[in-house]
Amino acid sequence: MLLRIVSEDSGQGLTLSNITKTIGLKLSTTHRILSSLVEEGLLGLNPETKCYRPGFLLFELGRSANQFMIRDIYRPALERIAKKTRDTAYLVIRDGYDSLCIDRVEGTAPLRLMLDVGARRPLGMGAASLSLFAFSSDKTVEKILRFNEMRFREHSGMGIADMRKLIALCRQKGYTLTAGVVDRGVTGIGVPLYDRKNKIRGAISVAAISEKIDKTRYDDIAVLIKAEVDKTYHPPN
Amino acid sequence: MLLRIVSEDSGQGLTLSNITKTIGLKLSTTHRILSSLVEEGLLGLNPETKCYRPGFLLFELGRSANQFMIRDIYRPALERIAKKTRDTAYLVIRDGYDSLCIDRVEGTAPLRLMLDVGARRPLGMGAASLSLFAFSSDKTVEKILRFNEMRFREHSGMGIADMRKLIALCRQKGYTLTAGVVDRGVTGIGVPLYDRKNKIRGAISVAAISEKIDKTRYDDIAVLIKAEVDKTYHPPN
DNA sequence: TAATTTAATTTCATATTATAGAATTATATA
DNA sequence: TATATAATTCTATAATATGAAATTAAATTA
């Protein structure tokens, strides 16, 4: 909690009393924990202003999370996609049997946000999420189907047979499409992202309320996403 | 400790038993803490391989440590400096009344490493450290002198008068030079880094055992560092 | 396919540590 | 200089983590 609170501040840092108010712990408790975090280097303390800021260790630990660097790589592509489609563009990665949304650029069209950055869903539930899944090897697909069977049913009412049909259709199209079948009233179009070794590293999707994405646009949007993805320079590793 | 251990692994992640061996805690304890870290998102767990990796929250928290982005900015300059001088180049920032080494590129010359990344010293003790100090405003210099007086004496045997003289000399030269006065047998040459608002954001130094850096090279090295710094594009903010 | 091994997860009484509240110290403001 | 505000330290009690063992799951071998 403390790390989050201090990190969310974008200014000159937060004072102890400030942080204490936010977190709702006792002053002495907050002070002790903050001191420990400073001692370890997770936070820094400006001795003049007595303000706490993110520390060097936090920076270093963060850099070790290489897998998420994909976010920096595809940020510009995501922005262009959102701008051109006017819908919200998502960057999603696989995390075990979940998909994890790691970036989002909102479109200009008025629409309710579906997926927050940091949100986790069963792998396959959502256009990008489905891209991570449907374009994997048959063996992987089977494993995920088995593991997530109950979660699919719970989330969308779809059974294994429905999912298999959906995957087959998407593979044929070359992109994933969830026109209301995963989330009621939501249509998404997803494309997988491959690294230089042809391994799936993530997926980008565009999603909006179904009324806003006409059937005739499906292919166009997929082509648009693929074009922006192809334009993107993906460094080795 | 656990965050460090998991972050330091560059491979596919570490298993519980692996981590347990490294940290020396009991299996159950390690498991419990790891589970909490995963729950919070600081770590991720691959459910197939049961391997722990850095998590998305760690990435996000790390990105909030903007002040250290200077490291990415000056990395190439640091590499060029180390290559050209054959000595080790350091990137150092101010942290309260300490200086903090946040990056290092080793030279080709055989020499003992003086300063580890993450190392903290009294502000002024070292060439880069001194740059952060000597080129500050007179008011700031006085405050630092007073605060660090004892620490200077302890570290180098220098008193306030000695430090004043050293600062005056450095200001005159336009770069900092610590020819054995701060660390016995070590010579360093430092240059401050300014942002677009002319605020000191860090310092770069080249350091080696004194025998390796001849007096005649002092100016050349300072000019070389400055040239590389000037070449570097420093984005707004 | 069963048996064996290895690794992961859960449980619980005891030992350890954190907490709240109060006291003290330091810093800022009137 | 007095007053107010914020930071830091202290300590008995309340809360939590630990270690050891048991259980479950997964992988390997027979």
Q: Residue B237 corresponds to which amino acid?
A: N
pLDDT of residue B139: 83
Query: What's the CA angle centered on A202, arms B39 and A213, to 5 degrees?
Result: 105
**Residue A236: inside a domain:** no
Cβ neighbours of B35 (radius 10 Å): 14
pLDDT over 90 (residue A60): yes
Q: How many domains does chain A divide into?
A: 2
Residue A111: CB atoms within 10 Å = 17
Asked whether residue B175 falls in the same domain as residue B218, the answer is yes
How close, in Å, is residue B149 to chain A by CA atoms?
16
Average pLDDT rounded to a whole number, residues A205-228: 94
Asked, for residue A18, whether it belongs to a domain, the answer is yes
d(CA A151, CA A96): 14
Q: Are residues B163 and B147 in the same domain?
A: yes
Average pLDDT on B45-68 reads 90
Q: How many CB atoms lie within 10 A of CB A127?
A: 27
On whether residue A139 sits in a domain, the answer given is yes
Per-residue pLDDT band for B132 (boundaries 50, 70, 90) equals very high
Mean pLDDT of B34-50: 90
Find the Å distance, CA of residue B26 to C1' of nucleotide D20.
Answer: 10
CA A104 – CA A75 distance, rounded (Å): 9
The answer to whether residues A116 and A203 belong to one domain is: yes
Among A48, A60, A116, most B C-beta atoms within 10 A, so best to mutate, is A60
- Specify whether the CB–CB gap between A119 and A92 falls below 8 A: no
User: What average pLDDT is seen over chain A?
Assistant: 91
Q: Please name the residue of chain B whose CA is at the shortest distance from the CA of residue A94.
A: B46
N-terminal to C-terminal alpha carbon distance within chain A: 32
- The pLDDT assigned to B43 comes to 94
Task: Provide the shortest C-alpha distance from residue A138 to chain B (in Å).
Answer: 16
Q: Are residues B133 and B175 in the same domain?
A: yes
Q: Does a structural domain hold residue B237?
A: no
Quote the CA–CA distance of A208 and A81 in Å, as a whole number: 13
Q: pLDDT tens for residues B189-204?
A: 999 999 988 989 999 9
CA distance B139 to chain A (A): 14
Q: Is the pLDDT of residue A27 over 80?
A: yes
Q: Is the pLDDT of residue A111 over 80?
A: no
Q: What average pLDDT does range B130-136 have in this prediction?
A: 95
Question: Across the interface, which of B8, B46, B65 has its CB nearest the CB of A55?
Answer: B65
Residue A237 resides in a domain: no
Residue listed under structure tokens 């042809």: A198
Say whether both B72 and B185 belong to one domain.
yes
Same domain, B47 and B95: no
Interface test with B, best of A64, A93, A120, A147 (most B CBs within 10 A): A64
The residue to which tokens 């002198």 are assigned: B145
Kindly state whether residues B82 and B48 are assigned to the same domain: no
Judging contacts by C-beta atoms under 8 Å, the chain A residues touching residue B4 are: 57, 61
In terms of CA atoms, which chain B residue is nearest residue A69?
B59
Pairing of strands B88-95, B98-105: antiparallel
In this model, does residue A114 exceed pLDDT 80? no
Give residue A104's pLDDT.
94
Same domain, A54 and A73: no
Q: List protein-proximal bases of chain D (any atom < 7 A from a CB).
A: 6-11, 17-21, 27
Q: Which domain holds residue A58?
A: 2-63
Residues 6+ apart with CB under 8 A from A130: A124, A166, A167, A170, A176, A178, A182, A190
Cβ neighbours, 10 Å, residue B217: 17
Cα distance between residue A120 and residue A122, in whole Å = 7
CATH number at residue B28: 1.10.10.10
Q: Is B224 helix (H, G, I), strand (E, B) or coil?
A: helix
Question: Is residue B126 situated within a structural domain?
Answer: yes
Q: For residue A38, what is the nearest residue in chain B, using CA coordinates? A: B95
Q: What angle do CA A226, B60, B203 make, to 5 degrees?
A: 110
Give chain B's mean pLDDT: 91
Residue A122 contacts B, CB cutoff 8 Å: no
Same domain, B106 and B120: yes
Mark which of A43, A63, A83 sits at the end of a domain.
A63
In a domain, B236, yes or no: no
| CATH number of the domain that residue B72 is part of | 3.30.450.40
For residues A165 and A202, state if they share a domain.
yes
* Residues B105 and B150 both lie in one domain: yes
pLDDT of residue A67: 86
Which residues does chain A have within 8 Å of residue B96's beta carbon, measured at their own beta carbons?
Answer: 44-48
Which two three-digit tokens encode residue A193?
Answer: 């992202």
Statement to judge: residues B134 and B202 lie in one domain: yes
Q: Is residue A80 part of a domain?
A: yes
- How many Å lie between the alpha carbon of A75 and the closest alpha carbon of chain B? 14
Q: What is the pLDDT of residue A233?
A: 86
Ramachandran angles phi, psi of B141, nearest 5°: -55, -45
Task: Give tens-digit pLDDT for A168-200.
Answer: 999 999 999 999 999 998 999 999 999 988 989
- Residue of B36, B46, B52, B59 to mutate, testing the A interface (most A Cβ within 10 Å of its Cβ): B59
- Check pLDDT > 70 for residue B8: yes
Q: Is the CB of A16 under 7 A from strand C?
A: no
Across the range A122-126, mean pLDDT stands at 94
**What are the contacts of B6-10 at 24+ separation with CB within 8 A?**
B6/B43, B6/B52, B6/B53, B6/B54, B7/A60, B7/A61, B7/A64, B7/A65, B7/B54, B7/B58, B8/A64, B9/B53, B10/A64, B10/A66
pLDDT at B48 over 90: no
Residue B59 token pair: 């990435």
Domain boundary among B63, B85, B106: B63
pLDDT band at residue A113 under the 50/70/90 scheme: low
* B146-168 residues labelled b (16+ CB within 10 A) or e (exposed): ebbeebbeebbebeeeebeebbe
